[in-house]
Structure 1
Amino acid sequence: MSSYNLSTMSYPNLTTQESYVRPFTDGVTIFSGIIIFLFCVIGILLNTMTILVIRKSQKLRNVFMLFITSLCVSDLMSALISPLFWYRRTVGFDVWIPPNFFCKLYWGAELMTTFSTSMHILNFAFLRLLSIQHPVVFQRITKRGGLLWVLTIWVIAFLCGFVTMWLFTGADPGVKRDRYSGEPNARWPACTVLLATIENYKKFSLSSYNIFILLPMFAIAIVSVLICGSVHKHTKSSTMTEDAAIKRRVRKEKQAVLQLVLIVCSFIFGYLPFVTYELWATQTDAGPVVDYWFGLCQYFCLRFSECMNPVFYNISSSKMRRYTKQYLNNTCKDCKGCERTENAGSRVVTSTSTREATGV
């Protein structure tokens, strides 16, 4: 890296042999770092807290919360690998210094969590529809059955996302990116799709992104409409009765709809730009500046979406809010208790030391 300056390096253009300047400045490196690392910290804190709240609250341990916990795990993994994206798009744009393992790890984990999130939300929506339209059938789903369901989703995401991208991607550590090669991947970061696998990756992306993201989006929209229709019918029926149990059930269904709508909107906001960029970048020959900024902005949307999910879980569920507040209060009390214990212990030590020094 010492043989050239990252902020001023230039190469001949991919096709015109004119000077080519890196498509971002040092200011963009700092700006994107602030945003991505901020999202990283927020994502880790909020998703970890949500997982702990659900695990510590017996009344939150149901099939729906199992799916939400697994979704939080997926978002947490995305937050943990987000610094690799920042490095890939900035400092390591032309020269990838870390071992190739980290490049493959980023891509594999990124696509695995993407496919996992999509399948989780689709199945979560289906469960909501089942619980509203066929509550008797829904009640037959055990926690063990729900756990196997979630594990199946992760196995599919691992095989179709992680393993596949591990084979398709890579980097040459310490090797300066050849920006004037004229190859299809010359404008991309140093850690990217391997030249030998580009054609296969194009076929894979067209099929997998349609199967795992676009089709689930369409299916989720249909299921959401069906859920809203069912809840609307139940709401009209509840106005004609004084049965408190029915009214309570309708109120819970409305909260469930709100939760689903927020999760789905967040999913579309984050993942539609992602899949659009991934398909666009492999099928077009846009300039490096457009490609760079499209790739950066779609990732901002993705990270924002994954940070907002834990917030939406609390906004849409009074029970979740109650147990979150209880968890935070207990955590604060434990911290204050530890602090008082430490202070008391230090006072005892000081008193003992004083007595020993005075010979009392």
Structure 2
Amino acid sequence: MSGDYMMTTSTSPSYTLSVVMNTTINETEKLLLQFEKDQKDLQAVFSKGEEVILWLVLGTFAIFGIIANIITFVVIQITPKLNRSVFNIFLMSLCVSDFVSAVNSPFVIYRATWGFYEWSIPHIFCKLAISLDFWTSCVTIQHILVFSILRLISIKFPHRFGVLKAFHAKVIVIVIWMETMGASFVVYYIWPGVFPPGKRTPSGAISKACTAQPAWIGMLLGYVQIGFPIVLYVPMIAVVIVTAALGYLIFQRKRNRNKVSNLQSEKAATKKENFALIQLALIIASFMLGYLPDIAYRMTAIILRAFNQSLPARGEWQFSVTSHCLLRLSECLNPVFYNLGSSNMRKATFAFMKRIVPCMFDVSKQRMTTSGRAIPLDNNTGSSQTPKQTFT
């Protein structure tokens, strides 16, 4: 009798169904509670308003960066006086780097906003967003370093520098891209992964869905110790040293010229050197504005990870997006600074823009009077219809 009772209670369909339903309800409630907690934590990281502002700002930077870098690249390429210059070959390559970075920017923004909690697009864009961002940073740093060294050599040894042609510059550029691809892109393509919604940092804060895979943390820490000094710190310090040496050299040569001669040719050489220094100073200023915060963020995030620590979720997000905004701003300023530092490039750029957007530069249909008002030209005669003035 007791055996029949035990068998009935343990195998009853209604009992089994009840257990399954209770288990399912409990699991669902747990999931709903966890989701609500995640959403509250996510709102504590960034608000919807900040999300919209970030997309508007960085979207504008990305569009401007894409257009400005394409225009600068094309202007140099189609202008014989510009495309034979060794330095302009490096500027063209920098335009490519900034262009790639601008195209990649929406995926970096997505990782920090819409894809922060749940990554809904193909996982390859998680890897590309991070790896391309770091690759272009390394490419830019090495370009600036080589550009600075060549500028120093051209002023210190102008006759010897003449043997370096545009072909040699292109070879150097290709080497930089290939070398940095292996030293930065490949490494940073391997380690990221996409995690399910609700991933937490060691401190318990909500984490990005696209982040480092635990299996690669050891390799990352080793790369930070060995790779970062090679691809980031040493080149940046070298850029500062070379720029300081270039400024000192130009100052010394200018002082010596003033003592020895006052020839027109010497004045022209001094003017040319001053423009070279101005262009380099603008490029480096833009470079420091964008890359110092970016490198500081990378160092902080990875070093804390080494000690199984992390920044507060909101603090980490603010640090990340601020450094990225400054980096994108730097890339937008670069084409502007290239033109400010070279009168030939400015002329070529205006000529190019006048061809593709003539209405923006067609100022022949109006001229300014002494009072500063625009006077339209007569459509038939082409003469200005200046109003008569009476004087008492």
TM category (shorter chain) comes to 0.7 to 0.9
Cα gap change, 1:167/1:152 in structure 2, threshold over 3 Å: closer, same or farther? same
Matches within 5 A, 1:195-344: 195-239=214-258, 240-284=260-304, 285-333=310-358
Which residue in 1 is equivalent to 2:107? 84
Contact 1:184 1:195 survives alignment (8 Å): no
After superposition, give the CA deviation of every residue in 1:11-59 in whole Å (9 maximum; x if it has no partner).
39xxxxxx73441111111010011101001101111110011011100
Amino acid paired to 1:303: R
After superposition, give the CA deviation of every residue in 1:71-130 in whole Å (9 maximum; x if it has no partner).
010001000000001111111101111111111111121111010000000000000000
Secondary structure of 1:192 counterpart: strand
CA distance in 2, matches of 1:53, 1:120: 20
Q: TM-score, normalised by structure 2?
A: 0.78
Contact 2:41 2:206 survives alignment (8 Å): no
Q: Pick from 35, 38, 52: which aligns with 1:11?
A: 38
Deviation at 1:178, TM superposition (A): 2.2
Contact 1:9 1:21 survives alignment (8 Å): no
CA distance in 2, matches of 1:77, 1:36: 14
After superposition, give the CA deviation of every residue in 1:194-235 in whole Å (9 maximum; x if it has no partner).
121122112212332222222112111111111111111222
Which has the higher mean CA deviation after the structures are superposed, 74-83 or 134-143? 134-143
Aligned-residue Cα RMSD (Å) equals 2.4
CA distance in 2, matches of 1:188, 1:21: 9
CA distance in 2, matches of 1:202, 1:187: 22
CA distance in 2, matches of 1:85, 1:185: 24
Which residue in 1 is equivalent to 2:57? 35
Cα gap change, 1:108/1:224 in structure 2, threshold over 3 Å: closer, same or farther? same
Aligned residues: 323
Cα gap change, 1:53/1:167 in structure 2, threshold over 3 Å: closer, same or farther? same
CA distance in 2, matches of 1:281, 1:70: 30
CA distance in 1, matches of 2:218, 2:312: 20
Structure 1 segments unaligned to the other structure (5+ residues): 13-18, 337-360
Matches within 5 A, 1:189-200: 189-200=208-219
Q: TM-score, normalised by structure 1?
A: 0.84
CA distance in 2, matches of 1:241, 1:177: 73
Q: From the CA coordinates, give the structure whose radius of gyration is larger.
A: 2
Cα gap change, 1:233/1:38 in structure 2, threshold over 3 Å: closer, same or farther? same
1:25 aligns with 2:84: no
Which residue in 2 is equivalent to 1:123? 146
Divergent runs of 4+, >3 A = 19-22, 182-188, 333-336
Amino acid paired to 1:72: C
Q: How many percent of aligned residue pairs carry the same amino acid?
A: 31
